[in-house]
Structure 1
Amino acid sequence: MRRVSRIAVAGVATAALAVTVSACGSSSSSSSSGSNESKGIGLAYDVGGKGDQSFNDAAYAGFQQAQKDFNVGGRDIEPQDNESDADKVQRLETLAKSGYNPVIGVGYAYAPAVKEAAAKFPNTTFGIIDDNTINKKNVADMVFHEEQSSYLAGVAAALTTKTNTVGFIGGVDVPLIHKFEAGYEQGVKDTKPSVKVKAQYLTQTAAEGGFSSPDKGETAAEGQIADGADVIYAAAGLSGQGVIKAAAAHKVWAIGVDSDQYKQAALAPYKNYILTSALKNVQGAVYDLSKSVIKDKKPLSGEVRGSLSNGGVGLADSNPTFKNNAELQAALKKAEEGIKNGTITVKTS
């Protein structure tokens, strides 16, 4: 059973980083020897920014590895608080004007900005993570079957809980995060129908901090733990760190998301309580798009969707307690095979 991302993105590029601040948000630029500093990969982060140990950091890992492997420079830019679509457009256009190619927006919130910038710079390849609505020849819409890895997380939760109560915490109440919840709940119920699933969302909009507020995640997790949940899956970006912190404090299990959060340095104090993580190969998506433009000279375009079948999503097995549970691993293998061969159809809402 493959529960690791197809492209292993590891290590830190040795390029020097120079931090600047502009109207587009804080950014860092790097260059590899022999490359033009105005060329390379442009990356614009989602809310929460770099350091979330999850979604944005996965994109950064792919960005770093592509720079190293293809000997090119790059510039990555942080978001601003309460920014508008116009701010995002300016950020992407600044990268394109500077000669960065591809230019990648991390997160569905970039859809209007990518659409506008791509129309103005038809010779630049743009990418967007988690949106497939743009439909332009110079845009790669990089999306995932998050419900599939979430289903596996639900199987794991159902076979791990001792209280017959598990939790789900979504960062923002939007269709994308509904996919995580739907897959998770289905995996739980298909495995053990008697298990209760407590689900909640931190905010209605991203501007309210649902993806960027560890304190909100911690408070929500505390409430679910008080109600009996002993396994909690968080699809909440940076806010998920608070969920993991609360789980560790109460000695219950957390399930991470997007990156293998058991391995994240900032979460090391809590890793013994991170059962697994539902992986989404964002780092591979960033890397593959960069490779298609820089090395292959055949830019990806249109919808590029990651699934269990192609390694775009999966489940991490870094925690020995999880990895060495034979009953759990057998159930996960059976569930994965069912999803791949079509005998299990995972809901998205």
Structure 2
Amino acid sequence: MNKNTSNNTLKNAITFCFFGLSLVFPLGLLMLTVGPSRMLAEKAANENWSHSNESLVQKIAILIFLITVLFITILISRFFYNSQNKTTKGLMLLFSGIALMVSLYIFSFRPELLVNSNLDYSKFNKSENAEFHFGSYPDAKKIKELKSQNYTAIISLLSEMVIPAEPILMQEELTNTSDIGIKLISIPMLPWIDDNDTSLIKIKNIAHNLKGKYYVHCYLGKDRANVFRNIIVNENSTLKIKSELGTNNIDTLKSFERGKIIKLQQHVYFTPYPTDDEFFGFILNGKMKNVVSIMDPKTNDVLIEKEHKIMKQYNQKFLFLPISDSTTDKEIQTIVDSILKLKQPVLINSYSTKSVLSERFIKVYNLTITK
């Protein structure tokens, strides 16, 4: 094979892949929002299909979609290769590129559009107000009880990623709800703060769109269910909330993983930067009314950015009041005064509670409250 033939082969392969991608993403977007995927989801909901049957049909639809896209890509590519008109070729590349960029933007930065279309809220509108009850994992007996009490659906926060227990429990719950005849809404939520973006969008939509009475649960722990509760309450204060769950109490701890917890006042806590588990268990569950970070952006910019993102995603009230080596005691005093005006409980964090800056902050705080 000579060099020209090799170059043409590579060029044709790149062009074929480009046309394929410019079809897969835009048509896939249409399939999810207004096409077969949504229509099948609505049909499954209206006819009460089992989760396994709906999943099988959706997979078949996706396979047919991919085969169709491959066939269309072959036809378009052949037309492009055989065309002698440079203007036609240019327009084909231009429009394909625009379609690809728009669809990639939606998939990457506007995923809520996909979530909205994949969860048909109208079929749950059975009462005028939404009511959420929180409890432990429901066995068959509990599910029968919920059915008899006219619950609209069960919302499960279990995730297949939490092995080995949760995949087994998910399958058991799927079988029980199908046999008993109550709707199961699965919103997998990992018991750590990362990788929950899609589930958080769904939860916030639920707070504004679902009507009826729902039973919400996670696994043996209560962290995810309480985080769910905190999100929807902050999204929509008119919701009715009843819970059998307790919450973790920071007063029972002497330290976080990164260091000692210092109790500045009855409901004011100064802690090192929390781990993912500590965020879930003691901050994002609704116990803390306000969270304040005093970390220095010069040395902790990555953690600060992460905390900003977490607080926004999980609807936690948050203030960033940085302290650095150049911050004077008078400026720290102003920060303390701002914190004292916040609704308690308040959690203040720095990377470490043993640093020189933290000790300065604690000293000024204690002097202020003893005046």
TM range (shorter): under 0.3
Query: Which has the larger strand fraction?
Result: 1
Give the greater-gyration-radius structure (CA).
Answer: 2
TM-score w.r.t. the length of structure 2 is 0.23
